[in-house]
């Protein structure tokens, strides 16, 4: 029986040491662009649905609650220097292309790497009036922006009969 006690203690000690707090990741490595969508006349957007172009899943946002402005987290491409979204506003489709650069940076040894983006510009279709870049740097903490801040604001030119 004594010959089993020492190996058992060694195994238990190894388990306790391997589960140290230093090896846990408490930082986010998810990076999202924070976007606000509003009508140029500051009127209410009745519904909003956002789809990623060339993505094989459901839309990221499906919001039917009227609001003058809301913030939404949008993922950017890890593989390309542009990301496209189809925006369905009040039932009408528009396309927004976001041009960016990306660099992987070490968050910590436990968390690994996270993408950091720098917004370079935009192109869009006719019902989008303009896009304003308020913060071109997008990183894992962008989603934590205080006071309803965002990286971009998209202004729509909505016809009066769709509101």
Per-residue pLDDT tens over the stretch 53-110: 876 555 555 555 555 557 888 999 999 999 999 998 888 899 999 999 999 999 888 8
Average pLDDT, the chain: 81
Residue 19 lies in a domain: no
Interatomic CA distance for residues 98 and 122, integer angstroms: 5
pLDDT in tens, 2-17: 677 777 767 776 666 6
Residue 3 forms part of a structural domain: no
Structural domain tally of the chain? 1
Q: What is the three-class DSSP state of 32?
A: strand
Phi-psi region of 13 (alpha: psi -120 to 50; beta: other; left: phi over 0): alpha
What is the span of the domain harbouring residue 84?
Answer: 26-162
Q: What is the pLDDT of residue 162?
A: 46
Q: Residue 151: which pLDDT band, with cuts at 50, 70 and 90?
A: very high
Q: Which is more confident, 17 or 41?
A: 41
- Tell me the CATH number at 147: 2.60.40
More confident residue, 18 or 128: 128
Residue range 26-39, pLDDT digits in tens:
788 889 999 988 88
What's the average model confidence in pLDDT over 128-150? 88
Query: 0.85 cut: is pTM over it?
Result: no
**86 within a domain of the structure (yes/no):** yes
48 domain residue, yes or no: yes
Q: Is residue 120 part of a domain?
A: yes
């Amino acid at each position: 029986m004594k010959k089993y006690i020492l190996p058992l203690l060694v195994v238990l000690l190894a388990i306790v040491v391997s589960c140290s707090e230093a090896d846990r990741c408490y930082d986010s490595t998810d990076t999202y662009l924070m976007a606000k969508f509003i009508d140029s006349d500051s009127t209410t957007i009745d519904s909003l649905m956002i789809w990623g172009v060339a993505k094989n899943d459901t839309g990221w946002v499906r919001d039917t609650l009227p609001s003058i402005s809301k913030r939404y987290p949008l993922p950017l491409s890890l593989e390309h220097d542009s990301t496209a979204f189809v925006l369905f506003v009040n039932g009408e489709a528009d396309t927004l292309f976001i041009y960016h650069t990306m660099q992987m940076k070490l968050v910590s040894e436990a968390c690994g790497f996270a993408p950091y983006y720098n917004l370079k510009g935009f192109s869009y279709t006719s019902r989008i009036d303009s896009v304003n870049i308020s913060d071109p740097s997008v990183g894992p903490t962008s989603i934590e922006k205080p006071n309803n801040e965002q990286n971009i604001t998209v202004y729509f030119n909505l016809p009066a009969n769709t509101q």
